[in-house]
Structure 1
Amino acid sequence: MTTDSSTLDATAVASLARQVVEAHPPGQVPLVELMGAWYDAGLAWVHFPVGRGGLDAPRALQPVANRVMRDAGGPEPRTVNTIGYGIVAGTIVRHVPPVTANRLLRPLATGEELWCQLFSEPGAGSDLAGLATRAVRDGEGWRVNGQKVWTSLAHKSAWAVLLARTDPDVPKHQGLTYFIVEMTTPGIEVRPLRQITGRASFNEVFLDEVYVPDTQRLGDVGAGWFVANSTLGDERTSLGDRVAARSSGTIADALELWTARPERHTPVLRDRLARLWLRAESQRLTADRARVSAVRGNPGPESAIIKLVGSELAQSVYEFCLDLLGPEAALVDTYSPDAPDDVSGPTALQRKFLRSRATTLEGGTSEIMRNVIGERVLKLPQEIRNDKGKPWKEIPR
């Protein structure tokens, strides 16, 4: 199945997507087969190069393909490998040689190999560049020691992207290097962390003398901050870029609940719902503009706007839902680390409310997003930093 990328438009992408789902009907063929065909057709990330899951087409055409998949009863592609699709794949295609990239991207796209992100640390918090995990040269590779935290899906992942300090004698942003690492490598220990929802889907990860071949380094030694920023840009776009159609996404939950609970209607709640809908529409249009501007999928600092607006909107929507539910909002059907991943059932909104508390933290806090927008988008003066220009080893921790 081939197509000429120079003639691609929404009609052509939709036609190609229909060919895939007709030849591999969702629900009738294994998911791996379906998503493998999706990747081979260039529909996993339409803005990626041909042969690496893409069509070398504008990123704005991706929702067209995804809509065909959903309408046929298939999954939203990114849910097959959440971190792989939305966060890691772009970094791989930008920084890994084509042959190796294809080897990594196809099983990522099919869900055969899940990915996680070893960035955050207990002692660094939102100051990612202040991380302390060390990678030291050892022959043809590196020995890594340190601790990571809040690592979603680390307990299920085959691969991880890893940011580590390779030079403590230079300023903190200059001494970082970016790697990919197999999670089965000796010396990696994963421990689950219980969330407010009761589930345990993220973890702390300990690295003890973990050997990483130099062939698994992405970018130059010391250029990890540059590579990581491309990953973070993808993450922010992924976290905030989930509303494809008017009145869909989180606001759809509020609208559905409003229709189902007419006895709870008040003028105040009606006004709140109207304001939330306007915010959701603004967020949707902002995300559309960002997709169009990222013609070849290299997100800029504008992705911070999408993430900030989307995450704060999600919290506001579910706060409204709980207020509309009244006393019923206090009910949760189960509170267990073994609770299913889906958010269906009689207390789905309560679960979504609890989960939404993380949206302004994950992928960079709202405070960090405002700094990014102010400094990189609006070109305002940078905040005063006492550690600027100092070697990392001289910065108090």
Structure 2
Amino acid sequence: MEFGFAAEDEVFRADVRDWLSEHVESGQDRRSWERALGKAGWIGLGWSEDGYGNRRATLTQQVAWAEEYARSSAPPRSGHIGENLLAPTLIAHGSDEQKARFLPAIAAGDELWCQGYSEPGAGSDLAGVRTSAVRDGGDGSYRVTGQKIWTSLAHEADWCFVLARTEVGSRRHRGLSFLLVPMDQPGCVEVRPIRQLTGTSEFNEVFFDGARVRAEHVVGGEGEGWRVAMSLLGFERGVSTLAQQIGFASELGRVVEAAVVSGAVLDPVLRDRLVRQWAELKAMRWNALRTLGRAGDAGAPSVAKLLWGGWHQRLGELAMQVRGAAATVGPVDWTPSLSYELDLFQHLFLFSRADTIYGGSDQVQRTIIAERVLGLPREPKGVV
């Protein structure tokens, strides 16, 4: 199979690199940056719909964009949940009115989204959600009540797509609906940041207390939430994984450099681990390229998650080994307080502990592969 880029892809890549080098600045406000990307037409390159303000790009050009963005030191994206998860879901399952209302705002970088899936007691078991949405009033609108957790970027988002129960007494996959909930509802929506081991707060708890949802903001129809939610999870694959690997390669390069400087690379066991990390990263890239364009491959996202989650976690452990005892010590000028500073390797190690849990734990990914790809029998309920 040919994994190379055509001449027109390289021209596109050069245009991307030139634009980014001209517009990326240190300390940029993330929301303003999203609008800059939207104005230049860089949001929604992979969408299959015309007429919503996004420029078109082939699959290989989307890869070129993602890779150059990762290399450019541009700000972390605040709009990727809307662009890469919600937008493809609306294109596949949304009404014409929903597409016309939400896709242009995402493409322009004007509205940011977060995902309301996981709940306390129902993280990996998504079918166990208890957040409810009941009809309220003659206009057919809903009132949403419940709690979501580990909600990435909820503190920045304008909207949240929420999986909630619209059928009283329903269980498991039945009676769920996919709702588009505005976050600006004082007294009805509360966001509480979750402070992590790293000292940062990308994740949040979100509490809904009678938050209003318009009747026309149910995607796919009432009771079809499980089907829509599972479709959405299938979009988190391919191009985004390749861009992620550029960041991984940069981290690995810093670990190798530190090993050379410290002399740790002279240890043959550690040197073997460094080479293995490099080889596994190359294999992940080939696998991601191989699965691009294979629509309907139910196992591809799970395989990719299993590969990169464990790899990144092992890299964090390796970074600590390279640093030795110094890895356990904070900055020289650090003073005890409620906050603390971490160097790059310490942050890598602590944050990567969650890589095999969030986004679907390794156990859940293996179950998906076993049941949906290999066709193995489901595990009997109640088995420990």
TM-score exceeds 0.5: yes
The bucket for the TM-score relative to the shorter chain is 0.7 to 0.9
Query: Residues of 1 paired with 2:36 and 2:94: CA distance?
Result: 25
Match of residue 363, structure 1, among 359, 362, 372: 359
- Which residue of 2 is the match for residue 75 of structure 1? 74
| Contact 1:245/1:284 (<8 A) preserved | no
Counterparts in 2 of 1:211 and 1:312: CA distance versus 1, 3 Å: same
1:198-242 Cα shifts (integer Å, max 9, x gaps)? 222211111111110011111121110111112222346577443
- Judged with a 3 Å threshold, the aligned counterparts in structure 2 of structure 1 residues 67 and 240 are, in CA distance, closer, same or farther, namely closer
CA contact 2:53–2:108 (8 Å) conserved in 1: no
CA–CA distance in structure 2, aligned partners of residues 291 and 338 of structure 1? 42
Give the one of 355, 369, 372 matched to 1:376: 372
Larger mean Cα displacement after TM superposition, 46-55 or 202-211: 46-55
CA contact (8 A) 2:45 2:57 kept: no
Bigger shift: 142-151 or 170-179? 170-179
In 2, Cα distance between the equivalents of 1:207 and 1:98? 28
Letter in 1 for 2:175: G
Q: Distance in 2 between matches of 1:238 and 1:202?
A: 23
Alpha-carbon separation, structure 2, partners of 1:354 and 1:149: 20
Residues 124 and 131 of structure 1 are in contact (CA less than 8 Å); yes or no, is this contact kept in structure 2? Answer: yes
SS in 1 for 2:212: strand
Query: Match of 2:155?
Result: 155
For residue 305 of structure 1, give the secondary structure of its aligned residue in structure 2: helix
Are the aligned partners of 2:176 and 2:226 in contact in 1 as well (CA < 8 Å)? yes
**Contact 1:117–1:162 at 8 Å: present in 2 too?**
yes
- Separation (CA, whole Å) in 2 of partners of 1:124 and 1:346: 31
In structure 1, the residue matched to 2:284 is 283
**Residues 233 and 300, structure 1, Cα contact 8 Å, conserved in 2:** yes
What corresponds to 2:123 in structure 1?
A: 125
Equivalent position of 1:219 in the other structure: 220
Q: Does 1:36 align with 2:33?
A: no
Q: State the match for 1:315 in structure 2.
A: 313
The gaps in structure 2 that reach 5 residues or longer are none
Contiguous gaps of at least 5 residues in structure 1: 1-8, 340-344, 388-397
The residue that corresponds to 1:48 in the other structure is: 48
CA distance in 1, matches of 2:78, 2:10: 20
**Match of 2:141?**
141
Supply the AA of the counterpart residue of 1:162: V
Q: Deviations over 1:238-276 (max 9, x none)?
A: 774435569825433433333333355301101111222
Greater mean alpha carbon deviation, residues 366-375 or residues 118-127: 118-127
CA 1:303 to 1:279, structure 2 compared with 1: closer, same or farther past 3 Å?
same
Q: Which amino acid aligns with 1:383?
A: E
CA–CA separation in structure 1 for the residues paired with 2:353 and 2:247: 24
Alignment partners' CA distance in 1, 2:319 and 2:81? 28
Residue 49 of structure 2: SS of its match in structure 1?
coil
- Aligned counterparts of 2:98 and 2:18: Cα–Cα separation in 1: 30
Q: Is the 8 A contact 1:145 1:207 kept in 2?
A: yes
Query: 2:114 aligned with 1:116, yes or no?
Result: yes
- Measured at CA, do residues 46 and 201 of structure 1 come closer, stay the same or move farther in structure 2, by a change above 3 Å? closer
Give the CA deviation at 1:185.
Answer: 2.3
Match for residue 166 of structure 1?
A: 166
Asked if the contact 1:283–1:306 (Cα under 8 Å) also holds between the matched residues in 2, the reply is: yes
Equivalence for 1:231: 232
Deviation at 1:37? 3.8
Say if 1:17 and 1:68, in contact at 8 Å, map to a contact too.
yes
Is residue 52–residue 107 contact of structure 2 (8 Å, CA) maintained in 1? no
**Residue 46 to residue 83, structure 1, CA distance change in 2 (3 Å):** closer
CA separation of 1:12 and 1:165: change in aligned 2, threshold 3 A? same
Q: Check the 8 A contact 2:70/2:244 in 1, yes or no.
A: no
Asked if the contact 1:254/1:321 (under 8 Å) is kept, the reply is yes
Instruction: Report how far residue 338 of structure 1 moved.
Output: 7.3
Percent identical pairs in the alignment equals 34
SS in 1 for 2:150: strand
User: What code does the residue aligned with 2:362 have?
Assistant: S
TM-score normalized by the length of structure 2: 0.83
Contact 1:147 1:204 in 2 (8 A): yes
Change over 3 Å in CA distance of 1:122–1:244 after alignment to 2: closer
**Residue 202 (str. 1) matches residue 185 (str. 2):** no
